Structures are given as structure tokens and as C-alpha cells.
Structure 1
Amino acid sequence: METKWLSADEREAWLGVFAVLELLPAALDAQLRRESELTRFEYYVLAMLSERPDRTLQMTGLAALSNATLPRLSHVVRRLSERGLVDKAPCPGDGRATIVRLTDAGWDKLREAAPAHVATVRRHVIDALTSEQVEQLTQITRAMLGSLDPEGAMKPAEPGV
């Protein structure tokens, strides 16, 4: 099979995506660590739990939502548990599975961290774009996720769900 090289426009688009993938996580992590003593991944775990009606998920479901391996997630959940931000327990319906629940302290920590985190997201992503570009970005990320995550494991939850 012959390689289909990138055109100049495609190369520019790809290098822009690459730069954003390198710089944005570091900017988000730095803000969260500095202001909330959370990593970006810890914040995401707390946020995913907060979106559930009972603030509870099985570890396997949380791993799928966060694109994490179970060992990595277990390590992070253990750290969050030691800080009182989550509880973990055997799943009532399946003793082999583990459930993770956001504690009241975890909910408070997330609510405390969210405004500055959202301001950082707004500064580096949303406010850098026009409203039309935000709509385009939504369409672009949906298309890319269709290729990267065809099962929709990391599909964002509907607002209010």
C-alpha cells in the first residue's frame, strides 16, 4: 500500500492538533494543581461521578468513561479515597466488582475547583473561538471521536444527566 502523504493544508491542520494536544493538557493540569491540588485526571474522575444521579459508578464504567486502565484508575481512586473525596466498596449486585462513590467532601472539592477550571477552559478554548467556530469544533470532535471511539465510551453525558 502506498502512503498517502499529507498535503500542506492537512499537515498544518495536523500540526495544530498536535500542538493543542501537547499544550492544553499541561495548561489545565497546572491550573488545577495550583488552585485545587487536583490533577486533570482526578478532576475528571470526580466530574464523571458527579454527573451520575447517585454519584456512583462501577470501576469498569468509570474506566471506560475516562479511557483509563483499571490499574491506573485504581491508583487514582485510592489516592482520592485517602483524601476523603470518594468511597469505594464491593458492588451490591456483584461482589467481584467495585463501585466508587463521590463523597460530600468530593462534591465540595469539585464545586470549589470547577469555577477556575471552567475559566481556564474558557480562556484557552471557548473564548479563543467565535460561536460559529465552537459549533464547528463540536462537529470536528464528533467526527474524530467516531473514528477513535466508535463505541462511544467517552461520549459526553447530556447536560443535566
Structure 2
Amino acid sequence: MEFKEYPFSELLINIVDNRGKTCPVVENGMPLIATNCIKNESLYPVYEKLRYISDKTYKNWFRGHPEPGDIIFVCKGSPGRVAWTPNPVPFCIAQDMVAIRADETKVYPKYLFALLRSQATQNQILNMHVGTLIPHFKKGDFKNLYLTIPSDLEYQEKVGEIYFQFCEMIEN
């Protein structure tokens, strides 16, 4: 089987990045997930210590929102933790994380998800992050994280689906 090495940035067609000021929150509304909601032991974001935003904030404050099948990637605090975005998307994402969308001409999204959760990739990210007090893995570093991908997209799909189904069984 043939493999090709890619910078992580070249495997993506979209990055939703809401870095900047902290958005205004309200008592009730759309859940705003933060980095604490992303755990590699959970397929989807968990709802812990949630804040909420108004419909107006949802529509006007953010640069973008995750779509079903996007991967939520934590950039600050515990860099490299990932979760899958469900359909429909019942939340929006705070700063310090991004939603990434795979370039399906190069990598099957669920294969990328499995690869990002692998111990080898997690170790790579751990060795690359900066910051001693609060670790960071900057979006600009995506070009420096190299991932080896099988060229066979059918193989990627099979592996990705098996991994995802296994995660779903654990989740249930």
C-alpha cells in the first residue's frame, strides 16, 4: 500500500476559527462549548460547565460555525483533543478551538479523526505545542504537523468507519 505524507494544513478545506474577544453570554440559549467540553474519551463534545449565547450573538458575533462532520480541534489548554460534530449541530464553539473540515480528495474525514486521536499524532502535537503555563498549538503550526496518509481512499473509508462505529458503541 502506498502512503503519502502531508502537512496537516493541506488535508483541510476549511477552518472555523473564532479567536478573539470572549463573546457575551446569557442565562439560556444556544450552548457555547469550550475546550473543557472536548475529550478524546468521548466521540462528541460533552456538556460540562456550559455557557449560553443569544440568537443575536450566534448570528452576528462569530466568524463561522461548525457543520455536521467537522472535527473540533482544541488549540489551547490541552492541544490536540478532538471531537466529532453531530448532525444537527446543537452548539457553537468558543475561542481556543477550531472546527476543521477534511479535504475528501486526500483524506476521509473519519480516518483523519481516528488519526488525530492516535497516540503517535497526540505525541507529535504534545512535542510541538508552545507555552509552559497554558500549552498552545497554533493554527499556524498546522503546516508543521505531518501526517502519513494511505493513498487508497477506500481503505481510509473502511478504517475510518470501523473506528467511528467502535467509538459510537463506547459512547452508547
Asked which structure has the greater CA Rg, the reply is 1
Q: Same fold (TM over 0.5)?
A: no
Structure with the larger RCO, 1 or 2 (CA within 8 Å, 6+ apart): 2
TM, length-normalised to structure 1:
0.29
Normalized per residue, which structure has more helix?
Answer: 1
Normalized per residue, which structure has more strand?
Answer: 2
